[in-house]
Structure formats: structure tokens, C-alpha cells
Chains A and B, each alone.
Chain A
């Protein structure tokens, strides 16, 4: 029997799991050390949400067994709509629960030295490269209990590496399919863009059931080298009943750009963190987030852009709709470190509440340790403007349709930023379902 503080998986388990996966010794060691420190590290402390009673650590299965699909046509409809089945070439990874089940990388990308594979294959075949980037520059294992636990228990994810000067024109897509009630996800995604390269990566988390048990603890690290550009799109639609910690972080070198477009549509309680560290001079970070909270879920979204480099620019835009008795907290942090002169930190957070019981909060924070900078913020929490509805209705549009237009309009700035048409369409549909 496990007590509340004891983790359900011990060193023996991890050692044998790592061995079964054929992992290099450094990774096994990394996992074991992380497990050890996880016991004494504190939980993360999301501002304005108390997670004391959330279950991030107790679950029964680390890996669930999943069958492969014999062809793309066998995929569930929820996944099929996301991909272009007509295309002759894909750059696509599909993971079913914890199992890598499909991978396609175009010949052109292979010839250019692009690596795109699941995290286990990356550990076996690109060990040195993975070791260089795995929780070394972005998210560190010892940041809190959940990052440590993540490092110890990684059980899925992808590795994407773009060599110097390679510009990838087609988006690279990953789909994480969740179709088992007992799945626990410790996905780790790494995107490395070397000097002057560019890439667009889009991922979808898809649950095919309404509710599930389990924990998901997801970490993304984007490492953008000098002069590179990474666009990172994500649409998360995980089922109710899970408990989630999602930490997506970017590190931008000199003149690098990182652009996030995040459609966060989980039905579960989730703590989200999206941090972009603008390390290099002239680096650029843009984080767009769109959220719908419904049912009884509580979600906390912390978006932070930290300026270290001179003349760096950071933009945060978050729009959220809250209905039923859901709670949505937006924390936005623009931080300019000493020495990051001529930098600009801008942020805008808006929450629209649709019901009396819905709760929303937007907390903009500017932390500035340098004189020669510009910064600004805007935040609002409110309800649908009755005069807007009156105006739309006065043209014959029924009230429900008028509300739908106002809500979609409110979320449009982020939805429109998603780079894949199919994914954009899916996000619109998910929003439709969630706000109905």
C-alpha cells in the first residue's frame, strides 16, 4: 500500500523500464536521480489556484498496452480529421497512449538531416544529441516535484531536430491519442532548431472518451538557435477526470523567434505553464493562448516571457471563455532582466464569463529591472456585452447564434494564428462543443 507521499513507482521499476526501452546509461541514471530528488522537492505553486488536493502523483499504471493501427484509415475519426489523408507525403508522428504507432518523415527532410522520431528511438539512436538537450537548457528536473517526477517517468513524446540553415516548409505534426481510461502520460517533446533554420511543429492531444482516470505531466522544450524560427502550435483536448501539469518552455538565442499558438481545450483540471526565455540579443517571443473552461473544471494558465537579451521583444495574448461553474485563472508575466535594454514586453489577457457561476481572473505582472525599455499590459474580465447582443439580434440573428458569434470573435485572434488548416478547423469545432 502506498501512502500519500510515497510514489507508486520505485527505483527498481524505473531501472527495469529504462532497460526494457533500451535506453543509454546516462538516461537511466538521469531518471533515477530525478526520482530521488522528487521526494523532497516542493510542488509548483501556481498563483491564485490551490492544488493541494489535486492528485498528480498517484496512479496505477505507468504504461498501458496499445495496439498499432494497420493503416491510417484505421485511425479513429477524431484523429483522421486532423491529417490530410490525401497527401502523398507526411511528416507525422502518432502516439497511441504510450505507444509510438506511426511515423512518417519525408525523403526531403531525411536528406536534409532533419530528425523526427519518438523519444525512445531518439534515446537509442541519437543518444548524444538527446543528452545535450534533455532537461538541460529548458525545463530542469529539479525545478519542482512534478518536473522531477516527469524526468523519472517519461513514457512518451517526440524529438525534432532541424540542422543549421534548413528551412522546413511543411508543418510537422504530432498526434497524441488517448483512448484508454488508465493511461498516464509523461510526454516529453523536444524541438531543436539550429542556427538560421526554421520549422513549424503542431501537436494535438486527443481523447476519444468523455472521462478518464489518470495523470498527465507533459513537458515541452523548444531550443531555438541563433537566427532560427520555431512556430509551435498545440491543441489540447484531453478528457474530464484527469489531472494535468503541462509545461511548455522555449529558449531563444540571438535573433531567434519562438511563436506559440496554443488552443487549450482540456476538460480536466490542468495547471499550464508557458515560459519563453529570450536569452539572445534581438530575440523574439510571441505566445498566443486561447482557452475555454466549462463544467466544473479548474485551470490555471501562467504565461511568462523573460527578457535577458538586449532589444528582445515579447508578446503575450490570452483570451479565455469560462462557462458553467468552471474557474479559469490567467497569470501573465513580462520580466525584463537587468541589461536587457531596448526590450519591449507587451501583454493582453481577456476573460469572458458566460454564466453567473463561472469564475475568471486575469493577473498581469510586469517585473522590470532595466530603465531603457518599453512595456505594457491590458487585462479585462467581463461578461458578454448585452449591447453587442442587441445589435446582432436587431439584424435578425437569434440570441444563441449572436452569442456564438461574439465568442468566436473573441477567440479568433489565437485560432487564426494556428498554422495547419485541419487543426484550426478542429479547434473551432472543439470550441463550438465546449461553449454550447
Chain B
């Protein structure tokens, strides 16, 4: 097996004492692209935040492992260095730290001391990825996400993805707030990453992103659980028929689990 394996077993997660995830099971392997769909407030973003280790989310039960290693025992930065990546729905703005300095620190955090990436090599890589994502060259010297438009922030998340080359990436609503051109560019970036060594979990409300990135598996989340799984055809059916048929099939009246952060 070339790629990595992220295993999520019976995951229960609380935020401020309220249980949001109620037993999620999912396995993502290198080479696979999974999509989790579902209406607002069903726990999709909570799943991504809990996997990455967001300080507000508390795992109360279950396990997450990456190639057998216990992810939940790791600090956030250790999870990243182990090979996880989360493209965030709302990336933080950090004043005074340039995009380039930030990315170099991130890359060097993965290197042994004394074995840091050379400046020239870094610049070449960053330039080529930025060009691929049709980003202005001055974005490298702008402060991290500060004053970026919604679309620029999302492109910048994909830039980081391409620079850091994680084993497993989770993309949390990477398509929200993007116009069609930006959506195409972002999809181009993700498709470029596709390969044996790269597994991906795409979280989205809408089918439209999946017109550009064909998933191998599609899951539907409701009430803090994955309630249905299938292939790409499931996404198409959701697009044309909505979610009501699933609710009916499963006897669900209210699909939400309180407020989703």
C-alpha cells in the first residue's frame, strides 16, 4: 500500500457540553477522494475540526488513527506533521507575518534541523504553485490572509495544501463564497494533488464542486452521524432531489444537531 490510512471509529464530539457528533465511522485511504454532504447544522464541520484538534471541540468517545497512530493523542502541530491538513472554512488573519515567511516556517517544521529548504528552492516552488493557482505574485509578500477577499483566502488554503503535500487533506467548505472561475481554479489545484499518496475528504453543501472533482465515495451526514454512503451517483441524486428522500427513508424529522460552529 502506497498511501496512508485515516480511520475514524465511533467518534463522539462535544462543544461546550453539547454533543454534536454521535458516532462517526469513516475510513479514508491514499488515492481516494471522499465527499461528505449534508444540510447545515448536521456536524460536518465539527468532524473536520475535531480531527485537526480545534481547541473548542472535545472528543468524548471513539478514536481517530493515521496509519495506526493515535491522532487524538497528538498536539495540533504534530497532527499536521504526521500528514494531516485542514483547509479551513474561516482561515485566521495574521498581521505582520508574510504568506511566504509563514509557509517557509511550515515547511521547515517538517525538516530536521540543519536540513531546511533552501530559499531559492522554496521561492521557485511557491512561484510555480501560485502561477498554477492564478494568484498575484504579490500575495507572497502580503500578510497572511489579512485583507484577503473570500476567494483569495480559499485559493491561499489550496496554495498551502500544494506546498505542504499532506497525506490526507480535509477541505471544509472550500467552495463556499467562490465564483465559478475561482471554483475552477481551486478544483484544478485539488485535482493536481490526486494520486496514490493523497487522500482527501471534501465537506460541502453543494454538488457543484463535485462537477469538477469526481469523488470516489459520497457520504451523507445527518444528526451527527453518517447516515448514507454511496458512489458519485449519490451526489447527483442529492442535487436533483434534495435530502428529503433520505430523511423519509430513514424516518428522520429534524436532521440537525443544534448549532454547528
Contacts and interface: CB of A to CB of B under 8 A. Distances in A.
Interface string A350-394: 000000000000000000000000000000000001111011111
B88 interface: yes
B97 A408 contact: yes
23 contacts: A386-B55, A388-B94, A390-B55, A390-B76, A390-B92, A391-B88, A391-B94, A393-B75, A394-B53, A394-B76, A394-B79, A394-B88, A395-B102, A395-B106, A395-B164, A396-B110, A397-B109, A402-B77, A405-B101, A409-B95, A409-B143, A412-B97, A413-B96
A391 B54 CA distance: 9
B109 to A, nearest CB: 4
A133 B160 CA distance: 57
Contacts of B97: 405-406, 408-409, 412
B138 to A, nearest CB: 16
A395 to B, nearest CB: 4
A408 to B, nearest CB: 7
B184 interface: no
B96 A401 contact: no
A267 B75 CA distance: 34
A320 to B, nearest CB: 14
A398 interface: yes
Given A399-B75, A401-B105, A409-B143, A394 B96 contact: no
Interface of A: 385-388, 390-399, 401-402, 405-406, 408-413
Given A401-B109, A409-B143, A393 B76 contact: yes
B86 interface: yes
B195 interface: no
B162 to A, nearest CB: 13
B194 interface: no
A395 B92 contact: no
Interface in B137-155: 143-144
A392 B54 contact: no
Contacts of B92: 385, 387-388, 390-392
Contacts, number: 81
A188 B126 CA distance: 50
Contacts of B52: 394
Nearest to B54: A390
Interface residues of B, number: 30
B230 interface: no
A169 B94 CA distance: 35
Given A386-B55, A409-B95, A396 B81 contact: yes
A417 to B, nearest CB: 12
Given A406-B94, A406-B97, A411-B96, A392 B55 contact: no
B113 to A, nearest CB: 12
Contacts of B95: 409-410, 412
Contacts of A392: 92, 94, 102, 106
Interface string B44-79: 000000001111000000000000000000011101
A396 B106 contact: yes
A405 B53 CA distance: 20
Contacts of A394: 52-53, 76-77, 79-80, 85-86, 88
Nearest to A399: B77
The listed residue with most B CB atoms (<10 A of its CB), out of A385, A396, A412, is A396
A391 B85 CA distance: 11
A383 to B, nearest CB: 13
Contacts of A411: 96
A396 B164 contact: yes
B94 A405 contact: yes
Nearest to B95: A409
Given A394-B53, A397-B105, A399-B77, 6 more contacts: A387-B92, A391-B92, A393-B76, A395-B109, A409-B95, A410-B96
A394 B89 CA distance: 13
A249 B86 CA distance: 51
Contact of A396 (B88, B96, B109): B109
Listed from nearest, the 4 A-B pairs whose CB atoms lie closest are A409-B96, A412-B96, A396-B80, A391-B92
Contact of B77 (A386, A388, A397, A408): A397
Contacts of A410: 95-96
Interface string B104-129: 01100110000000000000000000
